[in-house]
Amino acid sequence: MRTTFKWTLSTIIAVMAMIALSLGLSTQASASSSFGTGTGNGSTSACASWTMCIFSDNGYKGSVLKQFGDDSYSLSGTEYSRFNDKTSALINNSYSYYCFFENLFSGLTFQINPRTTVPSVNSWINDRITSWLVGTC
Ligand SMILES: [Ca+2]
């Protein structure tokens, strides 16, 4: 009986540890965004199941970088550096504000509201976006 109880208790502890571990892993996964790339088709549908997307051409065309999950990011020096200084259109499908920056979280800024689509960004930030933060500018 005693052995059975100890086994049960250790099993509970092991299960709780596994739950804690999986929670920790899932928290970590949501904190760091995942990305996808593709080609814009001229409609907002290319970004439908993604949190936020940037397009190289006006009207949701050209190359598109799709981010899943709200997170800040810098294009400079990353595997997606080819999108640096290329953005001409944006889609924000999240419920958060986004602040886009000309440089590494500095320089000119461009803010978009939650649930907002921007087919052509303002000329002063066109082809200049290098990084973004979740939140207002
Ligand atoms: Ca830039």
Compute the distance from residue 2 Cα to the ligand 1 centre, in Å: 67
80 shares a domain with 18: no
pLDDT band at 26 (very low <50, low <70, confident <90, very high): very low
Would you state the pLDDT for residue 9?
A: 54
Average pLDDT over residues 113-122: 98
| Residue 33 contacts residue 98 (beta carbons within 8 Å) | no
Whether 10 and 44 share a structural domain: no
Q: Which of 98, 21, 14 minimizes the C-alpha distance to 54?
A: 98
Confidence of residue 89 (pLDDT cuts 50, 70, 90): very high
Q: Ligand 1 center to residue 16 CA distance, Å?
A: 46
Q: How far is the CA of 31 from the centre of ligand 1 (A)?
A: 24
The answer to whether residues 40 and 2 belong to one domain is no
Are 57 and 88 in a shared domain? Answer: yes
The answer to whether the CB of 72 falls within 8 A of the CB of 96 is no
